[in-house]
Structure 1
Amino acid sequence: MTAFSYQLQAQCSHTKARAGVFHTPHGPVHTPRFMPVGTLANVKTITPAQLKDCNAEMVLANTYHLHLQPGEDLIADAGGVHKFMGWSGPMLTDSGGFQVFSLSEMRTVTDEGATFRSPRDGRLIEMPPERSIEIQNQLGADVIMAFDECPPYPATREEVEIATDRTYRWLKRCIQAHQRSDQALFGIVQGGVYLDLRQAAAKDLADLDLPGYAIGGVSVGEPPDLIEKIVQATTPLLPADKPRYLMGVGTYREMARAIAAGMDLFDCVIPTRFARHGAALVQGDRWNLKNARFRRDLTPLDASCACYTCQNFTRAYLCHLIHAHELLAYTLLSIHNITELIRFTTAIRTAILQDRFAEEFASWLN
């Protein structure tokens, strides 16, 4: 077994859904799987021990944000991002491409790379692809992402063509700059909503024989139906023996349909962001725990959920904490919301292994 490998365990007989294991130096990731987002080397409001209790296996951090604060040198001196944040499981760092390109008026992009003003102190930062990889090599996550240009939605075909071509050329430079064999470099398929550009990009990236592949540039404002079309057109062209990662997607519907197309890994800030707004995910629905109907409801948030929150606290208590502006509310809701999304993808994985995915999850697929 190499440091990184994807082991296919089962395939759905009615869809392209698959169950597998992605092996990393810090342990296996059982796919399909939702990955919590820990942008600044922490998943907001909860501890690594609580993350493990949520059944999390792989956690994300962000290169752009960690470069700005506290800096990759400090994290490297601490022994890498795993030790720095106290997380012993697999980790992935995004390249920061999306964050850089979301700065719009604060950055410029050329074939050489991106230049932007730090939103923290205004200093000028140059970020060629090589620099993004150098930072990620210092951070030390198991999976690192290539630096890509993420076109906005909507964008003209010409703008997307330029960004897609630049992303491919930057990927080749990322491959040359990558220095660590204990880190897997994933390429990112761009192409906006233009399916022919997506398909051409997927074919080009597949030829490079990378350890894994991602579909990026979705969930940037386009409707869910367009995301689904992009995933369905792109996924079959990605290598079947490598993990496939759909970036920035974390709703039940979008994950279920992407899994049916053959995707494996997902991430989204939804669970902790909802929690900070007093909202819970329950069976795929968003519940606003501020509502008066919960004030005297002494039942668990979700009786079918085994998370710490649902096993120990009532809806009335959570409603009370939110109205009292107690920080514990955010922790308890984050624990439940993360558990909910991981539980959903774990249930899909079990259904695929039993070849019951199309039947059991028909309500999300139809």
Structure 2
Amino acid sequence: MMKLTISKVTGRARLGVITSLGQNGEKSLEVPGCLLYTKTASPPHLTHDTLQTIEGVPPVTHLTLSSLAEHQEVLEEYKEGIGKFAGLRDAVLYCSVGDPVTPSPSGYNTNKTVSVWGSGGRIELTPQKFMSLQSALKVDWFQCLSDGEVMPSGCSRKRAKKSVDRSLGFLDECLQLLGKNNELKEKVVIGAIEGGDLLDERLRSARETAKRPVGGFLLDGFQGSAMTSETKLNLISSVTAELPEEKPRFMHGIGRPDEVIACIERGVDLFDSSFPYEVAERGCALTFNHQYQPDPETAGGHPNPDRTPGLNVLDEAELCDKEKNGEDQTEKEDKEIDQSQMTSYEICLKEKRFREDFRPLLPGCTCYCCRNHSRAYIHHLLTVKELLAGILLIIHNFHHYFSFFHSVRGALREDKLQVLKEVIQRQTS
């Protein structure tokens, strides 16, 4: 059974470690932290060998039930679980109901079923079917079935109350079934806290879920833009205040560095790592600075001297590119690229200004991509639609994102989270 030990609390931000993980109980996961995001139980674009080249890969792998539910019969016949089936070796496995990258359409959940969407279409899950799926998957932790629809235009009081009632009902049924299943008795159930944007329903969900024998909590339904940032953060603060200190708090679909730090400040422990994947999918590389030490050469927060947190090269790149000929034509061509989803924490390698830029994606980065390839090469791969582009970008983005969480923990340890927050905020637009 996993155990969370909190070593330091700064405000509401918690520094600690989850121990007794894995089959032998020898693995541990530091918090605040993130999980390794996968699609159909595989890290996007990566083989297991290329995954080994990335520093700081989290020991807990995040699977999504929506991508695996349609393979239940195959897994039941295989009998060894998704971990062995997918070659995930000794990873600790956590399964969420939905995929933070592709939220399910709303309007399909009922009092008896929750719908998930896989490549073959919609699958309706009753608590019985859900638990039989967990028996086939054999993961270590799983989010319990819940009614966590994110409404694009906000949530009515009636709908919010219904989401809480349904989710508590599903949780009770699943826990009852869990007690009757010897294979699942040792698994950790993560209870989902629902309630839309209504404080009283969120608090009711948190208090009632905390009464059940769950191993952790998922603050669900905060992804997307249905709520204002202020509403989200106020709700998160109120909810975490109701939760027991000794159990971890999860959140999905929140990945931007500024949003992650804001949630950590309000007591959230674990996040998914779908953000670096989404950045790679739009042909972009993470380049944000997460160095909270004034002098990287003397920084004490990073025990590995070869691991240099990202240096901010956005201004430098702009300065160099303005000196090149044909800038006006380049800008005209770049207008054709859809940058509506881009953040200020990344650069788009599809832009023509990178075609003769032979620097690494991020000077100072020690990932495989930055040590061996240039921006110009990635630009070329993207231009000719070569699959290698996605592989190299996800290697870099995962490496950089995992090192960001390393910096967050270092900053908390050294009472410099506010410094790191200010560094991140200066890069936010």
Measure the CA separation in 1 of the matches of 2:49 and 2:399: 13
Deviation at 1:302, TM superposition (A): 1.0
Measure the CA separation in 2 of the matches of 1:98 and 1:261: 21
Match of 1:272 among 270, 277, 281: 277
Measure the CA separation in 1 of the matches of 2:137 and 2:231: 34
* 1:47 counterpart residue number: 47
Match of 2:13 among 2, 12, 17: 17
| Aligned positions of 1:1-366 closer than 5 A | 3-12=1-10, 15-23=11-19, 24-25=21-22, 27-52=27-52, 53-57=54-58, 58-68=60-70, 70-71=71-72, 73-74=74-75, 77=78, 79-87=80-88, 88-96=90-98, 102-104=104-106, 107=108, 109-114=109-114, 120=120, 125-153=123-151, 154-178=154-178, 179=181, 180-222=184-226, 223-283=228-288, 285-364=345-424
Deviation at 1:337, TM superposition (A): 1.2
Deviation at 1:305, TM superposition (A): 2.2
Greater RCO (Cα-Cα under 8 Å, separation 6 or more):
1
Helix, strand or coil at the partner of 1:214? strand
Letter in 2 for 1:83: K
Helix, strand or coil at the partner of 2:277? helix
Measure the CA separation in 1 of the matches of 2:204 and 2:9: 26
Contact 1:250 1:267 in 2 (8 A): yes
Measure the CA separation in 1 of the matches of 2:129 and 2:207: 26
Measure the CA separation in 2 of the matches of 1:119 and 1:330: 21
Q: How many pairs were matched up?
A: 357
Measure the CA separation in 2 of the matches of 1:307 and 1:339: 6
Contact 2:284 2:348 in 1 (8 A): yes
Q: 1:298 to 1:101 in 2, by over 3 A?
A: closer
Measure the CA separation in 1 of the matches of 2:101 and 2:400: 27
Measure the CA separation in 2 of the matches of 1:54 and 1:84: 24
Q: 1:119 to 1:323 in 2, by over 3 A?
A: closer
Contact 2:100 2:252 in 1 (8 A): no
Deviation at 1:102, TM superposition (A): 2.3
Q: 1:282 to 1:116 in 2, by over 3 A?
A: closer
Q: 1:181 to 1:365 in 2, by over 3 A?
A: farther
Measure the CA separation in 2 of the matches of 1:270 and 1:48: 20
Q: What is the aligned-residue identity percentage?
A: 26
Contact 1:22 1:30 in 2 (8 A): yes
Contact 2:67 2:117 in 1 (8 A): no
Contact 1:72 1:139 in 2 (8 A): no
Q: 1:78 to 1:43 in 2, by over 3 A?
A: farther
Measure the CA separation in 2 of the matches of 1:183 and 1:135: 13
Letter in 2 for 1:64: S
Gaps of 5+ in 2: 289-343
* 2:318 counterpart residue number: none
Helix, strand or coil at the partner of 1:71? helix
Letter in 2 for 1:25: G
Measure the CA separation in 1 of the matches of 2:267 and 2:229: 17
Q: 1:243 to 1:295 in 2, by over 3 A?
A: same
Helix, strand or coil at the partner of 1:237? coil
Deviation at 1:6, TM superposition (A): 0.8
Q: Using structure 1 for the length normalisation, give the TM-score.
A: 0.89
Letter in 2 for 1:313: H
Deviations 1:175-216 (A, max 9, x none): 112232332110010011112211121111112242111100
Deviation at 1:221, TM superposition (A): 2.9
Measure the CA separation in 1 of the matches of 2:100 and 2:271: 16
Q: Using structure 2 for the length normalisation, give the TM-score.
A: 0.77
Higher-Rg structure is 2
Contact 2:6 2:15 in 1 (8 A): yes
Contact 1:61 1:91 in 2 (8 A): yes
Contact 1:64 1:100 in 2 (8 A): no
Contact 2:357 2:376 in 1 (8 A): yes
Measure the CA separation in 2 of the matches of 1:265 and 1:227: 17
Letter in 1 for 2:387: L
Contact 1:25 1:182 in 2 (8 A): no
Letter in 2 for 1:35: L
Deviations 1:148-192 (A, max 9, x none): 101333121111111111111111111112232332110010011
Gaps of 5+ in 1: none
Greater CA drift, 110-119 or 242-251: 110-119
